[in-house]
Each structure stands twice: as structure tokens, then as C-alpha cells.
């Protein structure tokens, strides 16, 4: 077990010693303070990468990456005010509101994803939360995709009482609902739903034994302490998320966060490494923003413990590397699909 979690005061030497103690035994939740995670961020880069790779190798095949594909099944027109999102109806972006996709269109996209090597198919809808009439066709999509032999994932907004049960019965494997950032920075980005609203949805998902996919967005103007605060929220859950997407802000003209100072790429790699160390048994997904990353930075993210990506040229409404580009990079790095 990581002894770091029981220390009240950390210095760099003690931290490095504790992290090498016994990663293979890290099957229980360790309580991480924000200060302890900041101490990880502040390690010399090579030391942090070494510690992250050590944890990663103790828990995963270091040369395997899980591949998911994300499809926007209902685009635009969202009533929320998330400052990063071009699908918010109140912002003037190039994203148009579109109706829910037809079942046969979703199945065709899932088949293409499977043919390209994806093992999980994620369906996202731009809703504050689904009404029952919205949910019913999505349940059919989930059942059909599951029957194809793919893992299923959905991100539909906040869930009401009883909706998680319906998703479970339809065959949903994962539900994505990101915390986005630390509690103290959250109000700078979103005002139309609370942090507790997000936690409540995750609790509903957990209560029916659906796997949790939850992470955040880095580079929204938050401090390093606030990046550490996000990871502390995730790592200290009773069961940390099985999948932790770490997104780099994709700036879209017309959204409030367009023009935010760009994050140092090495700080993003540090975030991936800290996520790996604090959540040793979770898949850490290198998610949105890869289109703007060099192949070298992506390779460092994999070295830091990222072991999941989204495959396909589009993530909801923003660009993503094409599958052929990722296949080429995997081949050059000796990475196999998990």
C-alpha cells in the first residue's frame, strides 16, 4: 500500500521512498491530500516519470493501451453553461443543434469503430439530463451495441432516480460523468449545475454497479493546486473511477474559455503521471486535446501511465487524430491494443 497516504508531512525524499514500497499491493483506497499530490507535481520530471512508470508496471501491461471510440448521438442545444463547451445553446459557435441519431446510424458507427480495433463504444448526448422519452431510444442503442460484442459507455448528463437502473438493464458497462476540475475552481467554469450534482449522478451509477468513467479538463486557467485538487477528489472516492479521462482544454471560438493561456505540455504530462500514481488500478485515458499534442508529448503521456485513448477523427464536436495516425504511432512505440 502507498505509505504516502498516511503521511501528514511530505518531503521529496520520503515521498520517493514511499512510492517504491509496494505498488503491487495497492488494492485499497489511499487517502491523498492535495498537498501530497502537489508534492508529486513538484518532483523533478525524471523522478516523477520513474515513479509513475513503476506504479504502472506493477498494475498494467506497460505496452498495452485500451481503445475506445466516442460518438455524439445528440449534438448541440444544451442548456448548460460549461465554459469550455461549444454545444451550449447560449454560446455562438459553429456547432448546430441536431436531433438524436437514428438507431441504424449508431450501429453503423459502432461497427466501424469495432473494425478499427476499438473495444469500447461511447455514446454522448448534449443534455442537462435525459428525460424518459430521451432515454428509451438510447437504451435500445446500448443493447444493440452490447450485442455486437463491444463494451458500452454513455455520457448523457445528470441522471434521475431510476435511470441508472434502466441503463444497467440495457447492458451499459460504463457511465461517463466528469468532475471537470477541483471544487474550488468549479464555479469559475460552470454555474448551471453544482459539484454535488455531479457526485450524486456518480453515486447513482455506482449503486447499480455500472463502472464509473470520470476525470477532468486541464488547462482551463486552474492552478497546479487545483489540478491536484481534482485528482484528490477522484482518487479519494470509495472506489476510484475504473476509467479516468484527462482532457486538455480544446479552445473553441465563441466559448468563454477561448483565449485562455495555453498549458505547458510538460505540466499536462505531470498531471497524467500524478493520476497514475494516485489511482494505480484505474485506466488513465489520454483524451481530448491530443490533436494539438506532438507525438513526443503523447509518447511521454504513455510513459507516464496513460493506457487508454479515444480512437477516431472526432470527439463529440472537436477534432481527434485519425485511427490510421494512432495505429502508426502505436507501431513505432511498440504499443499493442489492450
The residues that are catalytic are: 78, 82, 85, 122, 153, 213, 285
Alpha-carbon span 3 to 257, nearest angstrom: 38
Q: Rounded CA gap, 63 and 75, in Å?
A: 35
Closest Cα to residue 19, out of 41, 45, 35, 40? Answer: 40
Indicate left, alpha or beta for 300 from its phi (over 0: left) and psi (-120 to 50: alpha): alpha
Residues 317 and 72 sit within 8 Å (Cβ to Cβ): yes
> Left if phi > 0, otherwise alpha if psi is -120 to 50, otherwise beta: which for 180?
left
Query: What is the C-alpha separation between 256 and 239, in angstroms, rounded?
Result: 33
Distance, in Å, from the CA atom of 149 to the CA atom of 313, rounded to the nearest integer, reads 22
Amino acid at each position: 500500500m502507498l505509505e504516502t497516504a498516511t503521511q501528514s508531512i511530505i518531503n521529496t525524499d520520503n515521498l520517493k521512498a514511499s512510492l517504491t514500497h509496494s505498488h503491487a499491493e495497492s488494492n485499497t483506497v489511499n487517502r491523498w491530500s492535495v498537498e501530497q499530490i502537489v508534492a508529486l507535481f513538484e518532483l523533478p520530471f525524471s523522478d516523477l516519470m520513474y515513479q509513475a512508470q513503476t506504479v504502472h508496471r506493477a498494475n498494467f501491461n506497460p505496452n498495452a493501451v485500451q481503445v475506445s471510440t466516442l460518438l455524439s448521438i445528440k449534438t448541440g442545444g444544451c442548456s448548460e453553461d460549461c465554459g469550455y463547451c461549444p454545444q451550449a445553446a447560449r454560446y455562438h459557435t459553429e456547432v448546430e443543434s441536431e436531433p438524436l441519431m437514428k438507431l441504424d446510424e449508431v450501429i453503423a458507427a459502432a461497427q466501424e469503430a469495432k473494425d478499427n480495433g476499438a473495444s469500447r463504444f461511447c455514446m454522448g448526448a448534449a443534455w442537462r439530463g435525459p428525460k424518459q422519452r430521451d432515454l428509451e431510444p438510447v437504451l435500445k442503442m446500448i443493447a444493440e451495441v452490447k450485442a455486437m460484442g463491444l463494451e458500452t459507455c454513455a455520457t448523457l448528463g445528470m441522471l434521475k432516480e431510476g435511470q441508472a437502473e434502466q441503463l444497467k438493464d440495457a447492458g451499459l458497462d460504463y457511465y461517463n460523468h466528469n468532475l471537470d476540475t477541483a471544487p474550488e475552481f468549479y464555479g469559475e467554469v460552470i454555474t448551471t449545475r453544482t459539484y454535488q450534482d455531479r457526485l450524486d449522478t456518480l453515486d447513482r451509477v455506482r449503486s447499480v454497479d455500472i463502472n464509473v468513467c470520470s476525470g477532468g479538463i486541464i488547462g482551463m486557467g486552474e492552478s497546479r493546486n487545483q489540478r491536484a485538487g481534482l485528482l484528490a477528489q477522484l482518487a479519494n472516492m470509495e472506489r476510484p473511477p475504473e476509467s479516468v479521462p484527462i482532457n486538455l482544454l480544446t479552445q473553441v471560438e465563441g466559448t468563454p474559455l477561448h483565449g485562455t493561456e495555453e498549458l505547458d505540455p510538460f505540466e499536462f504530462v505531470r498531471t497524467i503521471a500524478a493520476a497514475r500514481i494516485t489511482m494505480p488500478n484505474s485506466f488513465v485515458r489520454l483524451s481530448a486535446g491530443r490533436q494539438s499534442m506532438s507525438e513526443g508529448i503523447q509518447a511521454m503521456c504513455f510513459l507516464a501511465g496513460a493506457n487508454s485513448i479515444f480512437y477516431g477523427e472526432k470527439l463529440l464536436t472537436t477534432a481527434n487524430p485519425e485511427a490510421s495516425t494512432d495505429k502508426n504511432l502505436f507501431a513505432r512505440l511498440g504499443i499493442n491494443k489492450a
